[in-house]
Amino acid sequence: MTDGFERSRRFPRRYRLLVVVLLAIGLSERFAGPFTVDAVGGTVAAAVNGVVDRLGGQPDAGEIHLSFDDGPSLEATPQILDILAKYDATAVFFPVGTQVDGGQAQLRRAVAEGHRIGNHTWNHDSLRGISALDFRSTVGRTQNAILNATGVAPTCLRPPGGRVDENARALAAAAGMSVELWTVDPEDWKRPGRAAIESGVVDQVESGAVVLLHDGGGDREQTVEALDGILDTLSDRGYRFTAMPGC
């Protein structure tokens, strides 16, 4: 069972002042009796839980689906996984096949922590106009590499650059994979700065949004820096972070 302290950690900022007020009332009433650590802890937990109950709990604004392309990387991916864990967020990682061998530990950790793994082709290859043979070469090869590294076969495919056509969709379907694009793109791969990446997400999202970010393909320090602020802001708005249904 979640205790009052844990519930308060996820509580929106706009309600925290009310917690303080109720704590003051509760403490003034409670401590006609002995002032002990247990008594203080019990009073704090009761006051926090009371605020949650009176306000109906944290408002549920819906789900947002985070995704990370072009990894894994030894630098960014572990930091991103740490931040996701902090906010109890589940994401989908779309690695390119050329990165899989060097990033097996990062992919295995992602799977162990409940994240999903998709397929992003072998070397960021366009799927538009692709032949069946070339599809097997780039997508099938990546599929095998991920399966060997993690024991998991991806069920979703993200076309690099969104370059896909009906033929590629049919080839993906025949391979048991859905094609997954995105609805929010802050273009973090351009490295526009932490603030631009953060606002590029929080100013555009709505329930059901699929956010495109990157954990590989270059220096992703700005993405890592922006991610904590993105999740903090959207958590306070009542959003939950889940894997997109197709994956």
The candidate with the shortest Cα–Cα distance to 116, out of 169, 74, 158, is 158
**What's the half-sphere exposure (Cβ side, CA atoms, 13 Å) at 35?**
5
CA 92 to chain CA centroid, Å, is 7
Spatial contact of 214 and 226, defined as CB atoms under 8 Å apart: no
82 is catalytic: no
115 is catalytic: no
Beta-ladder partners of 178: 156
Catalytic residue among 115, 188, 214, 215: 214
The candidate with the shortest Cα–Cα distance to 156, out of 179, 139, 127, 184, is 179
Catalytic residue among 69, 70, 125, 215: 69
What are the distances in angstroms from CA 56 to CA 45, 60, 99, 236?
16, 10, 46, 15
Catalytic residues: 69, 214
